[in-house]
Amino acid sequence: MSRPLMHALGLALCTAMVPALTAQAPATTTPIQKKEARMTTLAKGSFEVTVAPLSEGARKGVWTPGRMSIDKRFQGDLEGSSQGEMLTAMTEEQGSAGYTAIERVQGSLQGRKGSFILQHNALMTRGVPGPWTVLIVPDSGTEGLKGITGQMTITITGKEHSYALEYLLPAAP
């Protein structure tokens, strides 16, 4: 499959899956152990994203993989940037696909600096969105964000991207 076609398919997958999924909350939650007093917090804002193909590949007859870089700039309660990679898989059935991604977010979350890792997972069956989760990887927080847990919901309206990050964070030292 040609590089332009792979790029178009990957972007089509992202574009087709994400808007239809935005009304759904993540289907999976992270178990949180009670070691100290924690408070659930909601951070909201917007972000800009750039997605670009990284390599080309094909598994004939079953699925077509795609690999893309992800670069984001966050504004709002979360100020910072992220870098990551996305893997996509499209089947021969039109509109059936899946994606997974990992991105490292670095910046300031409501005044606390550090980084954490997000893991994405989404499915679509014949154009119908399925489960979609964006979770903070356990124990991935650093510096002022050490111990963070939670999940993110992404909303896309036209070309505008926004996030809602529901998280738990130990009290500041």
CA–CA gap between residue 93 and residue 123 (Å, rounded): 13
Q: Which amino acid is at 44?
A: K
| CATH number of the structural domain 3-22+41-170 | 2.40.350.10
For residue 157, what are the CA distances in angstroms to 11, 20, 38? 16, 10, 33
Token code pair at residue 21: 């999924």
CA–CA gap between residue 65 and residue 51 (Å, rounded): 15
Q: Which helix (H) or strand (E) holds 103?
A: strand 97-109
Identify the pLDDT of residue 62: 60
What percent of the chain shows pLDDT beyond 90? 46
Average pLDDT in the 18-39 region?
44
- pTM over cut 0.75: no
CA–CA gap between residue 75 and residue 157 (Å, rounded): 16
Instruction: Say yes or no to pLDDT of 56 above 70.
Output: no
For residue 75, what are the CA distances in angstroms to 30, 111, 118? 25, 13, 17
Write down the domain spans for the chain. 3-22+41-170
Instruction: Say yes or no to pLDDT of 58 above 60.
Output: no
